[in-house]
């Protein structure tokens, strides 16, 4: 009997199991008759190993095969199984969260000590009146459960499949470094590659760099592909709803992150083109691999100051308990290939990006500018959503996942631009001078 063939032909695991059990009973009976005495389990197994040519390959037990089994379960059985599966996932991820909350030594219990003098202020502060639903009253399990079981926060199977198709041609590697760029940030991108080529790539071994093209000019694309030591992927805007094509909604950012981490055996580093690494970067990347992720904090502004009320509504939160939190950067992420971070951070973030009412309820240009000192004075789209989700998951301990100040590993330099770095790599100084460059790179 050959077990793998019937499986491939679509016979259920249950049937194969039944056949194998019946076979084992017959085999036992034959053996019992032959040996003329009771047989110990050990002796039976040893005999079985020699005589039974039926070996279950590991893939036989893989999750794809389990799905085949589910096809003919009754509806109640299936719902039961799914609920059990969901409970098991909540258990597993809660345990991981609790273990990290207990084991991460540094990072301060959140930040603001000032009390809110104005109810409408963008400054990080403790509310004067206690919040109706304070963060610290929610258990780790409640937080995990909400984020990983609600369709409000989890992409559908089809949505996830569409997102993952972005990286179907990217090979797996230990580390994936990813970035994305439109034509107006090309000079920042060139300076970013200079930093990567000089500081980061020489120290890495098994890594792949992926650049998502959000609308480079043909000339920019050509010179980048020739020199970047990276794979360039055209972002498939047509596969997504209309708001994703509006670059100012930043919905593309959680999409490319979720797609990229599927290729990272150990770590995804996502960076906007303004990110510059210091020689000490590996300390921080190691920390991300140890604790699941690392984020960069901006001091002085509470993220509800820079987040529209509509996003809080989508996330089923009142603003009050979030006013203590300073803002985390969205455009620099170090994320290990980790089930907690993927399911409880990246998936809710992706889901929000795919829902216009969550990520960009208001697309008027001025909503991006943060002038006043009032709550909800502006909106930071992907960054706003990231902040909400980080606080929902980690609660008042959120800053345990912030890079410690003594790491000096990363900076954000929107002014660091280079109009010719990649062109010179391709054409040389002389050749660069001969080129007519389209002056579109900011």
Ligand X SMILES: *[C@@H]1O[C@H](CO)[C@@H](O)[C@H](O)[C@H]1NC(C)=O
* Interface residue list for ligand X (CB under 6 A): 10, 12, 68, 71-72, 106-108, 119, 129, 172, 197, 201, 205-206, 229, 263-265, 276, 278, 337, 339, 404-405, 408, 411, 428, 430-431, 434
Nearest to 270 by CA among 260, 284, 282, 281: 260
Instruction: Tell me whether residue 175 or residue 244 sits nearer to ligand X (CB atom).
Output: 175
Q: Which is nearer to ligand X, 276 or 379 (CB)?
A: 276
Helix (H, G, I), strand (E, B) or coil at 358: helix
List C-alpha distances in Å: 186 to 223, 227, 232, 373: 11, 14, 14, 32
For the CB of residue 62, give the shortest distance to ligand X in the complex, in Å.
Answer: 10
Distance from C-alpha of 348 to C-alpha of 355, rounded to nearest angstrom: 11
CA distance 337 to 262: 8
Angle at 406 between CA 404 and CA 407, to 5 degrees: 75
Q: Which residue, 44 or 201, is less far from ligand X as judged by CB?
A: 201
Instruction: Please report how close the Cβ of residue 39 comes to ligand X at its closest, in angstroms.
Output: 34
Residue 95 CB, nearest distance to ligand X (Å)? 14
Helices (H), 242-337: 242-245, 252-261, 281-291, 309-314
Decide whether 31 or 232 has the Cβ nearer to ligand X.
232
Q: Which is nearer to ligand X, 239 or 433 (CB)?
A: 433
Q: Between 84 and 265, name the residue whose CB sits nearer to ligand X.
A: 265
Closest contact distance (angstroms) between CB of 330 and ligand X is 19
> How near is the Cβ of 357 to ligand X at its closest, in Å?
26
Instruction: Quote the CA–CA distance of 328 and 380 in Å, as a whole number.
Output: 11
Q: What is the DSSP string of 173-214?
A: EEEEEEEEE-GGGHHHHHHHHHHIIIIIGGG-SSEEEEEEES
Q: Rounded to the nearest whole angstrom, what is the least distance from the CB of residue 413 to ligand X in the complex?
A: 7
Q: How far is the CB of 394 from ligand X (least distance, A)?
A: 14
In the complex, minimum distance from the CB of residue 161 to ligand X, in angstroms, rounded to a whole number: 16
Three-state SS string over 39-93 comes to CCHHHHHHHHHHHCCCCCCHHHHCHHHHHHHHCCCCHHHHHHHHHHHHHHHHHHH
Tell me whether residue 215 or residue 404 sits nearer to ligand X (CB atom).
404
The set of residues, in sequence order, having a beta carbon less than 8 Å from that of 411 and lying 6+ positions away, is 275, 276, 278
Q: Closer CB to ligand X, residue 224 or residue 384?
A: 224
Residue 424: partners with Cβ closer than 8 Å, 6 or more residues away: 432
């Amino acid at each position: 009997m050959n077990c793998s063939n019937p499986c491939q032909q679509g016979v259920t695991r249950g049937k194969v199991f039944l056949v194998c059990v019946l076979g084992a009973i017959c085999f036992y009976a034959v053996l019992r008759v032959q040996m003329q005495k009771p047989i110990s389990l050990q002796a039976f197994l040893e005999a079985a190993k020699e005589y039974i040519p039926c070996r279950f390959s590991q893939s036989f037990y893989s999750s794809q095969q389990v799905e085949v089994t589910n096809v003919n379960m009754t509806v109640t059985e299936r719902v039961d199984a799914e609920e059990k599966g969901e409970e098991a996932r909540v258990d597993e991820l809660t345990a991981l969260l609790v273990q990290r909350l207990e084991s991460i030594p540094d990072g301060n219990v959140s930040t603001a000590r000032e009390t809110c003098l104005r109810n409408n202020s963008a400054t990080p502060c403790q509310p004067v009146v206690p919040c109706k639903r304070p963060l610290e009253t929610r258990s780790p399990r409640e937080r995990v459960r909400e984020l990983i079981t609600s369709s409000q926060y989890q992409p559908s199977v089809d949505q996830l499949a569409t997102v993952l198709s972005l990286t179907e041609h990217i090979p797996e590697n230990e580390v994936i470094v990813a970035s994305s760029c439109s034509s107006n940030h090309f000079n920042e991108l060139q300076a970013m590659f200079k930093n990567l080529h000089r500081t980061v790539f020489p120290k890495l071994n098994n890594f792949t760099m992926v650049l998502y093209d959000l609308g480079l000019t043909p000339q920019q694309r050509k010179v980048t592909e020739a020199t970047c030591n990276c794979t360039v992927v055209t972002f498939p805007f047509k596969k997504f709803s209309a708001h994703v094509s509006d670059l100012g909604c930043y919905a593309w950012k959680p999409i490319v992150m979720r797609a990229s981490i599927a290729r990272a055996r150990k770590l995804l580093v996502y960076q906007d083109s303004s990110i510059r690494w210091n020689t000490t970067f590996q300390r921080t990347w190691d920390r991300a691999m140890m604790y699941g992720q690392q984020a960069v904090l901006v001091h002085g502004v509470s993220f509800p100051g820079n987040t529209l009320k509509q996003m809080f509504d989508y996330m089923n939160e009142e603003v009050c308990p979030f006013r203590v939190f300073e803002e985390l950067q969205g455009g620099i992420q170090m994320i290990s290939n980790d089930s907690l971070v993927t399911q409880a951070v990246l998936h809710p973030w992706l889901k929000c990006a795919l829902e216009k009412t969550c990520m960009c309820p208001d697309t008027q240009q001025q909503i991006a500018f943060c002038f006043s000192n009032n709550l909800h004075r502006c909106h930071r789209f992907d960054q706003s959503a990231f902040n909400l989700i980080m606080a929902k998951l980690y609660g008042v301990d959120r800053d345990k996942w912030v890079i410690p100040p003594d790491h000096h590993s990363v900076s954000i330099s929107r002014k660091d631009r280079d109009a010719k770095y990649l062109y010179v790599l391709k054409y040389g100084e002389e050749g660069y001078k001969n080129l007519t460059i389209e002056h579109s790179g900011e």
